[in-house]
């Protein structure tokens, strides 16, 4: 079994992949203070939760956008499975032609999502990853990574709104009942959720206008399941793109 780990700003996704199929998936909170031993215990507990022994893990791959946490997780994994993990970063084979000013600065999670999407969908592609930040990336024909956009995530927007305004309360990000709210909470929920959906629709229109042709749009990330149904554009939801991409990269680099 392959142990695939993606370290995000809010959550760490831990997945087990056997014969190209996701056997399990779990999330733990990203904590900058935890030691490698603590992360090792977390990982071991996740494996135990899904009846998996450390000896069942034949390899591991990690992608990370949180440098302070990466070393602790990497060392923790090594202590648990007794093997050094593969790391998504400069030098790893991706099959992408990255047309960015500084290719090494492209987040590893964005690379992983692009690799996974190309394996399942026909380019040109516009890919949405809605997590702590909302990222939009464009992949053209010939596996060409053209670039994209980085936008504050839905939860960041909500936290900024509630923390910077004295009379607005904290709310749950449920589906709004209507656009025109009749109380403060409904007004906030409508503005945040429908606002995020309208932003996605508008950005997709602008991306395709700049490209000069339509694209297939695929979305992933924790918030996508809540926002995408509110969008007017046709968007395919694929919540497992990160784990699929990590599996592809591991195989591509161990042949």
The per-residue pLDDT for range 145-160, each reduced to its tens digit, is 999 999 999 989 888 8
171 in any annotated domain:
yes
Domain boundary among 87, 106, 127: 87
61 in any annotated domain:
yes
Whole-number pLDDT of residue 163: 84
Which residue of the set 109, 201, 205, 240 is catalytic? 109
Q: Are residues 101 and 66 in the same domain?
A: no
Whole-number pLDDT of residue 144: 94
Q: Are residues 123 and 212 in the same domain?
A: yes
Give residue 205's pLDDT band: very low, low, confident or very high (50, 70, 90): very high
Whole-number pLDDT of residue 173: 79
| 107 annotated as ligand-binding | yes
Contacts of the segment 182-186: beta carbons below 8 A, 24+ positions apart: none
Average pLDDT, the chain: 93
Q: Are residues 65 and 45 in the same domain?
A: yes
CA atoms within 13 A on the CB side of 81: 26
231 in any annotated domain:
yes
Q: Are residues 149 and 40 in the same domain?
A: no
| 186 annotated as ligand-binding | no
Alpha-carbon separation of residue 151 from 20, 38, 196 (angstroms) = 32, 32, 10
70-107 confidence digits (pLDDT tens): 999 999 999 999 999 999 988 899 999 999 998 888 88
Say whether pLDDT at 255 is over 80: no
Give the least confident one: 136-140, 161-165, 177-181. Answer: 161-165
Whole-number pLDDT of residue 171: 77
255 in any annotated domain:
no
Whole-number pLDDT of residue 220: 96
Whole-number pLDDT of residue 12: 96
Give residue 39's pLDDT band: very low, low, confident or very high (50, 70, 90): very high
Question: Scanning the structure block, which residue is given the tokens 């956008």?
Answer: 65
| 184 annotated as ligand-binding | yes
| 12 annotated as ligand-binding | yes
Give the least confident one: 2-6, 94-98, 171-175. Answer: 171-175
The percentage of the chain sitting over the pLDDT mark of 70, rounded to a whole number, equals 100
51 catalytic? Reply is no
252 in any annotated domain:
no
Pinpoint the alpha helices (H) of 138-240.
154-163, 184-211, 224-227
Domain boundary among 46, 63, 87: 87
Say whether pLDDT at 178 is over 80: yes
Whole-number pLDDT of residue 172: 77
Q: Are residues 110 and 183 in the same domain?
A: yes
Say whether pLDDT at 161 is over 90: no
| 129 annotated as ligand-binding | yes
Whole-number pLDDT of residue 37: 97
| 91 annotated as ligand-binding | no
> 33, exposed or middle or buried, with CB in 10 Å at 0-12, 13-18, 19+?
exposed
Whole-number pLDDT of residue 90: 84
Its domain, for residue 7, covers: 2-87
251 in any annotated domain:
no
Say whether pLDDT at 45 is over 90: yes
Q: Are residues 16 and 71 in the same domain?
A: yes
Q: Are residues 59 and 121 in the same domain?
A: no
Q: What is the mean pLDDT of residues 177-184?
A: 90
Whole-number pLDDT of residue 74: 96
Q: What is the mean pLDDT of residues 191-202?
A: 95
159 in any annotated domain:
yes
| 180 annotated as ligand-binding | no
Core vs surface per residue 107-132: b (16+ CB within 10 A) or e = bbbbbbbbbbbbeebebbbbbbbbbb
Q: Are residues 78 and 103 in the same domain?
A: no
Domain boundary among 60, 87, 114: 87
Q: Are residues 63 and 129 in the same domain?
A: no
Q: Are residues 103 and 223 in the same domain?
A: yes
Say whether pLDDT at 9 is over 80: yes
| 191 annotated as ligand-binding | no
Q: Are residues 139 and 190 in the same domain?
A: yes
Q: Are residues 109 and 175 in the same domain?
A: yes
As for how many domains the chain has, the answer is: 2
| 7 annotated as ligand-binding | yes
147 in any annotated domain:
yes
Q: What is the mean pLDDT of residues 191-215?
A: 96
pTM score, whole prediction:
0.89
CATH value at residue 6: 3.30.420.40
């Amino acid at each position: 079994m392959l142990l695939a780990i993606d370290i995000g700003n809010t959550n760490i996704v831990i997945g087990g992949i056997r014969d190209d199929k996701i056997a399990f998936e779990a999330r733990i909170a990203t904590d900058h203070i935890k030691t490698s031993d603590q992360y090792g215990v977390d990982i071991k507990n996740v494996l135990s939760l899904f009846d998996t022994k450390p000896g069942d893990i034949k390899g591991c791959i990690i992608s990370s956008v949180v440098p302070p946490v990466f070393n602790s997780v990497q060392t923790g994994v090594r202590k648990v499975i007794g093997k050094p993990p593969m790391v998504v970063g400069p030098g790893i084979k991706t099959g992408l032609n990255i047309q960015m000013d500084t290719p090494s600065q492209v987040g590893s999670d964005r690379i992983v999502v692009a690799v996974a999407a190309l394996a399942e969908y026909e380019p040109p592609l516009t890919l949405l990853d809605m997590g702590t930040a909302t990222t939009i990336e464009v992949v053209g024909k010939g596996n060409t990574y053209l670039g994209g956009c980085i936008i504050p995530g839905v939860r960041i927007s909500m936290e900024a709104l509630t923390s910077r305004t004295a009379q607005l309360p904290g709310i749950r990000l449920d589906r709004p009942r209507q656009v025109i709210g009749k109380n403060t909470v409904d007004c906030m929920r409508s503005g945040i959720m429908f606002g995020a959906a309208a932003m996605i629709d508008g950005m997709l229109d602008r991306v395709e206008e700049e490209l000069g042709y339509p694209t297939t749009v695929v979305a992933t990330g924790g918030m996508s399941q809540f926002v995408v149904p509110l969008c007017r554009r046709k968007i395919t939801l694929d919540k497992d793109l990160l784990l699929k991409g990590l599996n592809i990269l591991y195989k591509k680099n161990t042949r």
